Amino acid sequence: MTSLPHSPSASLLDEIALALDATSLVLANWYHLAIKLGVPRKKCWNFERRSTQSPTNELFQYLEATRPQMPLKELRETLHELERMDLLDYLDQQSLEGNVQLVIKESKH
């Protein structure tokens, strides 16, 4: 019996977004992640222009729309390539198992 894919909660992606939104001369940010995932530079510029929302959240929404079957594993691999061990450690602490897709799933309060 195969398990159905499930999505991480919005709060998990919000935590990742907080870390990736920060500008650093040392750590890769949301822009580096977007480029590694093949997002066009012009689209990245649009994410940054919208000052009312997190550019990382804009990126996640774009990925959800353009690559709805993107596995969280691909995000993990890209974060590893970018040497964002802090975020990989955070994801490890979340105990995500199985076939997880990077689709924003609103948490219910």
Overall average pLDDT of the 6-11 stretch: 62
pTM metric for this prediction: 0.78
pLDDT in tens, 69-80: 888 889 999 999
Average pLDDT, stretch 57-71?
A: 90
pLDDT digits (tens, 9 = 90+) for 10-37: 778 888 898 999 887 788 999 999 999 9
Instruction: State residue 100 phi and psi, 5-degree precision.
Output: -100, 130
CB 91 within 8 A of CB 76: yes
Angstrom CA distances, 91 to 48, 51, 85, 98, stand at 25, 27, 10, 13
Domain spans in the chain, listed from the N-terminal domain onward:
10-93
3-state helix, strand, coil in the chain (%, to 5): 55, 5, 40
Closest by CA to 102, choosing from 43, 52, 56, 40, is 56
For domain 10-93, give the fold: Death Domain, Fas (1.10.533)
